[in-house]
Chains A and B, each alone.
Chain A
Amino acid sequence: MADTVAGASPDPHAAGDDPSRRDFIHIAATTAAIGAVAGLAWPFIDQMNPAGDTLALASVEFDLTKVEQGQQVVLKWRGKPLFVRSRTGAEIAKAVKDDTASMRDPARDEDRHKPGKAEWLILVGTCTHLGCVPTFGGGDYGGWFCPCHGSHYDTSGRIRKGPAPTNLAVPEYAFLSDTKVKIG
């Protein structure tokens, strides 16, 4: 190669080879290749997100007469456990009384149940720390206790002690009648 260049003009650009045109082709080709790879990468990443049928299984109806007062029923919703708890008067009073206590994720008890339905507490049953299922009635506050890393929830499902950052989540739900709820 060196031999063929020798004798020709030492500066290839001076020979009428426009540098900006060549650069443009390089940049355009590289950009097109990166764009194509990025465009193709997205389907391969997005295929791991929830599929259509998974998204479709979003709501569930539940008959509240199955729950005795002072107890809870665990049902499966979106692959996760859901707590439906019928609270006793004492448990409600305790939760309301603690509204003013110092908490990591402050919330009032009345905001965690439907108006006039203080008895019914419906929560997503996964610990907000790392997703274990807290056990009913355990812990220092009588709500739930997570066996994995020791998070204590009160009778309103609020985090009171341990590593969990937030309260047990309240799912979207509505009362269809006095004894029936639709969750999701």
Chain B
Amino acid sequence: MSGHSSYEPKTGIERWLDTRLPIVRFGADLLDFPTPKNLNYWWTFGGILAMCLGIQIVTGIVLAMHYVPHVDYAFNSVERIMRDVNFGWLVRYMHANGASMFFIAVYIHMFRGLYYGSYKAPREILWILGCVIYLLMMATAFMGYVLPWGQMSFHGAVVITNLFGALPIVGESITTWLWGGFAVDNATLNRFFSLHFLLPFMIAGVVILHIWALHVPGNNNPTGVNVKSKEDTVPFHPYYTVKDGFAISLFLLMFATFVFFQPNALGDAVNYVPANPLVTPAHIVPEWYFLPFYAILRAVPDKLMGVLLMFGAIAMLFVLPWLDTSKVRSMRYRPTAKLYFGLFVLACLILGYCGGRLPDDPVIPGISTFQLLDADLNSMVWLSRVATAYYFGYFVVILPILGLTETPLPQPESISAPVLSHPANAPAGAAASPEKRG
């Protein structure tokens, strides 16, 4: 898509086609794409994610052949898929666990981008498209989880759609509009099925834009240093087709372990109870991949503020390219930033942990401290508040200020340089203030 094409049509048919629909050239250029030669295994998750999307679409289309989107039949049709449809259990377990695998891969992919500064110029659009994909994934996963019409499906749908009710004035009209009634009911289930079918194809569309935006500046790399010459790159094929292929194989091993040995480990047993609008399960939790956001929602005692903060947590990602003031891309050369990044990952994990527990649960069992405002200090609520504060602080305080105050380590001259000589032997003059780096 950028740079010169090295494709030469060899046969008459290829030449004929190349002047009409240069699709072979298109494919050849993708395979030949110059890729930094130092990409590590954190870079294989793009390919893994493409595979995850493919698996979800194929298994999803098969499930749609047997699923019935009606409140009276949905639960039973899913059980029929599990018991009676040939290999239905396999397809459904692949689809349900596939969603979790998709999110594991996307979170690693995102943390990789955060650590190596892949969101910085000139890759802002690439990063934002990725954020759009992530939003679409969350919407798709949420609506998909509603379809089996179990207790968690139903009450999860109630809670999430009620989030929009927190908006002033228009909130109630919006929830009624989303429901197609006065509560989550058949109309809601039907439209969720329709949209759950649509959104993956929208994701596929944005993925194409994402890859297009990737192929304009080319890949970032672990050093964060721009590609300077042809020496710094290798063709995508065979070097990265093989590396990605190996990573995909390992990922599939983990995937298969869940599908065949622990198919329900990542789900909630309560969702095997048919939906009952009159009884809410005692402990209602979303799927694991939403837990950090759920913890942020619950950390705030005010309904509207909680909802705004939860959506704000995702909004932070969209504006991140303009929050981070450091011109050094890779945190490999930002020792202080590396520390704060580690704490950020920890904050996300703590939020995930808190989201799965009850707000009043003690953090350290058996110890009661003192009541601070509305809850005991030794409670999940206060732990979530601390982690939420750090989550937002990382984006709006630490990254903007740190880029101006820190002293980064010397960056290599080029991608090839540290391969040829150890970074410790780099010229002393390489260390300089960050504002002079470009």
Contacts and interface: CB of A to CB of B under 8 A. Distances in A.
Contacts of B191: 48
Interface stretch (A59-67, A86-94, A108-116, A125-133): A125-133
Interface residues of A, number: 30
A76 B360 CA distance: 31
Interface of B: 155, 158-159, 161-163, 165, 176-185, 187, 191, 277-284, 298, 300-304, 306, 358-360, 374
Interface in A97-144: 125-126, 129-135
Interface string A139-154: 0000000111110000
Given A48-B180, A147-B284, A81 B303 contact: no
A147 to B, nearest CB: 5
A79 B276 CA distance: 11
17 contacts: A49-B176, A50-B179, A51-B180, A54-B181, A74-B278, A78-B183, A79-B183, A125-B278, A130-B162, A130-B303, A131-B159, A132-B159, A133-B278, A134-B280, A148-B284, A150-B358, A163-B300
A81 B283 contact: no
Given A54-B187, A165-B303, A148 B280 contact: yes
Contact of A130 (B159, B283, B302, B359): B159
Contact of B303 (A50, A51, A78, A164): A164
Contacts of B184: 79
Contacts of A134: 280
Interface string A154-168: 000000010111000
A182 interface: no
Given A79-B183, A80-B182, A164-B303, A150 B359 contact: yes
Contact of A147 (B185, B280, B298): B280
Given A50-B176, A163-B303, A149 B181 contact: no
Given A51-B181, A132-B155, 13 more contacts: A48-B180, A50-B179, A50-B180, A76-B277, A76-B278, A78-B182, A79-B184, A81-B278, A126-B158, A135-B280, A149-B298, A163-B302, A163-B303
Contacts of B163: 130
Contacts of A126: 158, 183
B139 to A, nearest CB: 15
Contacts of A79: 181-185, 277
Contacts of A45: 177
Q: Which of A48, A133, A148 has the most CB of B within 10 A?
A: A148
A54 B304 CA distance: 29
Contacts of A51: 180-181, 187
A163 B178 CA distance: 23
Contacts of A74: 278
B33 to A, nearest CB: 38
Nearest to A166: B303
Nearest to B185: A79
Contact of B177 (A49, A131, A147, A150): A49
Contacts of A76: 277-278
A4 to B, nearest CB: 30
Contacts of A125: 278
A12 B86 CA distance: 73
B159 A163 contact: no
A54 B177 CA distance: 12
Contact of A49 (B159, B180, B185, B306): B180
A149 B155 CA distance: 13
Nearest to A45: B177
A148 to B, nearest CB: 5
Contacts of B182: 50, 54, 78-80
A80 B155 CA distance: 12
Contact of A148 (B159, B165, B179, B302): B159
A147 B280 CA distance: 8
A132 B284 contact: yes
A131 B158 contact: yes
B277 A80 contact: yes
Contact of A81 (B161, B179, B277, B302): B277
Q: Which of A51, A78, A129, A149 has the most CB of B within 10 A?
A: A149
B136 to A, nearest CB: 19
A175 B282 CA distance: 34
A148 B281 CA distance: 8
Contacts of B180: 48-51, 54
A60 to B, nearest CB: 12
A79 B157 CA distance: 14
Contacts of B283: 147
A147 B281 contact: yes
